[in-house]
Amino acid sequence: MRGPHNILRLIRTGATLERTGAMAVVMDAFDAPRLVRMTMRFLAWPFQWLGYRGDPAMPPATRALTALGPAYIKFGQILSTRPDLVGDDLATQLRVLQDKLPPFPVAVAKASVAAQLGRPVEEVFDDFSAPVAAASIAQVHRARLREGGEEVAVKVLRPGIERAFRKDIDAFYFAARTIEFLSPGSRRLRPTDVIAHFEGVVMGELDLRLEASSASEFTANTAGDEGFALPRVNWPLSGRRVMTMGWADGVPLGDNAALDAAGHDRAQLAERVLQLFLKHALRDGYFHADMHQGNLKVAPSGDIIAYDFGIMGHIDEYTRKVYAEILYGFIKRNYRRVAEVHFEAGYVPADRDVDEFARALRAVGEPIFGMDASHMSIGNLLSYLFEVTERFGMETRTELILLQRTMVVVEGVARSLDPQINVWQAARPVVEDYIRKNIGPRAAMRDLQKTLAVLTRYGPRLPAIVENALIRQSMPVETAPRGQRGAGALWALGGGLAGAAATVAVFWLV
């Protein structure tokens, strides 16, 4: 009965959007065609009485999504990371969504934990508190282990959350396909792809083993970072629906009065949280992508503690180098080099004018460097940079958008601690250290060694590859087996490997 369910759910969704005033906001954000706007208003207006009223104190979009429930709240949170899709204004509005819902009963949580662990809660924990936090997908309880007495946080999925999300995701797909059918022009916004991205994120969060894995990887990457700590995952007490971690005991990073009372240096904390984020993004290519005050504490020792690893960002090694060179070029105010990096990386089409692009970049950078320290922003710089690069034909890169969104959040955290922080001065040593280690002679040596290692593995296969390529080259394309029509590609591979081998040989001879 998916069809009737989808139609009824979407009618209620449209009615809620119309009743709360969010319909116009959403249509404007997505630049919806006139036919879509008229159809949505026509379908929603008569059913306003079916819509949820929501909290009138909230902005329209936030009010509507909160009223519609967990799947819509999560959808709004994910869209808040995609200003390229919804625009900066709506992304900012969605970013303040309060990820809080009424908790479900402790007895239900205990039953879920017992079912997951295969034994009664009382056998595992001496104490199991009421919920200390309730979010759209799960809630958290504070507990104490019976064996050893360690204080832990136990995260438990909401009962029936998988089925609820599955139903709403079906409705989202139905809506996306309907919009694409009614307005072919809307396909440039790729509504079905947006829902597919949402589905992938949510399905990952509905398996707490994946979040535990993210936490474990993040812990391994940051083990040597001074002044930074992460709660340890308790794997034996974790599973698909339950995750147990060490309790993060400390002062919330957003409580300045408590930080001052505890004797912490807020200016130092502001600089450290910014540098830690940049270090994780550049050095590791794996960063906490939800570093707001609610997910950060300060331990009595002064260490910054991060938790909640549902949203993590990843950047490949090549992109990290490009990103670092761009930041470093702006720090040095070398706009020509920043422009060249964009062309070298293939971000901007080669037929564009590099000098014109450099002048456009200067128009981005100079006003920011002319500001006082309290207004200089790397996040704003990246936002303006994306606007300029789009004008020069650069395609949207979602990994950099998530990085920029997180940079904005981290800068906000840093400024809440120290309004006068100079973010460029704080970022400079991290960026310079990365440049020195990864874009200099030593980095070239490491890259050549990696190339040599690859050649060592593939070297014995080169004669067979070339021989097969010659045989296939001599066969008519129409008679060659489908799997043997890649002679050109094989020749390119052989030539590329041979060229790389020659480069390495020359390097070692010199």
| Residue spans per domain, the chain | 2-97+165-184, 105-157+207-247, 250-439, 442-509
**Is pLDDT of 82 > 80?**
no
**pLDDT, tens digit (0-9, with 9 covering 90-100), for 320-379:** 888 888 888 888 889 999 999 989 888 888 889 999 999 998 988 888 777 766 667 777
Res. 491 pLDDT band, cuts 50 70 90: very low
What whole-number percentage of the chain has pLDDT above 70?
Answer: 80
Q: Please determine, for residue 142, whether its predicted confidence score (pLDDT) is greater than 80.
A: yes
3-state SS class at 282? helix
d(C-alpha 324, C-alpha 318), whole Å: 10
pLDDT value of position 209: 94
Q: Which of 181-190, 238-247, 350-359, 369-378 is most confident? A: 238-247
Query: Taking the CB of residue 40, how many other CB atoms lie within 10 A of it?
Result: 22
Minimal CA–CA distance to 294: which of 256, 261, 253, 259?
253
Q: What is d(CA 447, CA 154) in angstroms, rounded to the nearest whole number?
A: 43
Comparing 318 with 504, the larger pLDDT belongs to 318
Torsion of CA 176, 177, 179, 182, to 10 degrees: 180
Q: State the Cα–Cα distance between residues 254 and 297, nearest whole angstrom.
A: 8
pLDDT at position 152 over 80? yes
Is the pTM of the predicted complex or chain greater than 0.75?
no
Task: Say how many C-beta atoms besides its own lie within 10 A of residue 193's C-beta.
Answer: 12
Question: Under DSSP, is residue 239 helix (H, G, I), strand (E, B) or coil?
Answer: coil
Q: What is the mean pLDDT of the chain?
A: 80
Q: What confidence category does residue 442 fall into, taking pLDDT thresholds of 50, 70 and 90?
A: low
DSSP SS3 for 22: helix
- Residue 457 or 409, more confident: 409
Whether domain 105-157+207-247 has CATH 3.30.200.20: yes
Q: What's phi and psi for 251, nearest 5 deg? A: -90, 130
- The span from the CA of 50 to the CA of 44, in Å, is 9
Q: Which of 301, 296, 313 is nearest to 264 (CA)?
A: 301
Of 18-32, 288-302, 329-343, 441-455, where does mean pLDDT reach its minimum?
441-455
pLDDT at 490 over 60: no
Asked about 127 being catalytic, the answer comes back as no
Express each pLDDT in 3-36 by its tens digit: 566 777 777 787 888 888 788 787 877 677 777 7
pLDDT band, very low/low/confident/very high, at 409 (cuts 50, 70, 90): confident
DSSP H helical segments within 332-440, as ranges?
A: 335-344, 354-369, 378-391, 398-417, 423-438
Candidate list 99, 168, 290, 308, residue with the active-site label: 290
Between the ranges 49-53, 430-434, 498-502, where is the mean pLDDT highest? 430-434
Nearest-Å Rg of the Cα atoms of the chain is 26
**Average pLDDT of span 235-260:** 94
Q: So what's the pLDDT on residue 268? A: 95
Instruction: Give residues with Cβ within 8 angstroms of 469, minimum separation 6.
Output: 487, 490, 491, 494
Sign of CA dihedral 67, 405, 175, 61: positive
Q: CA 56, 60, 64: angle at the middle one, nearest 5?
A: 85
- Any idea what the Cα angle at residue 124 is, between residues 118 and 127, rounded to 5°? 135
Is residue 136 within 8 A of residue 74, CB to CB? The reply is yes
Torsion angle of the four alpha carbons 111, 114, 115, 117, in this order, in degrees rounded to the nearest 10: 160
Using CA atoms, how far apart are residues 95 and 91, in angstroms rounded to an integer?
A: 6
pLDDT of 121 reads 95
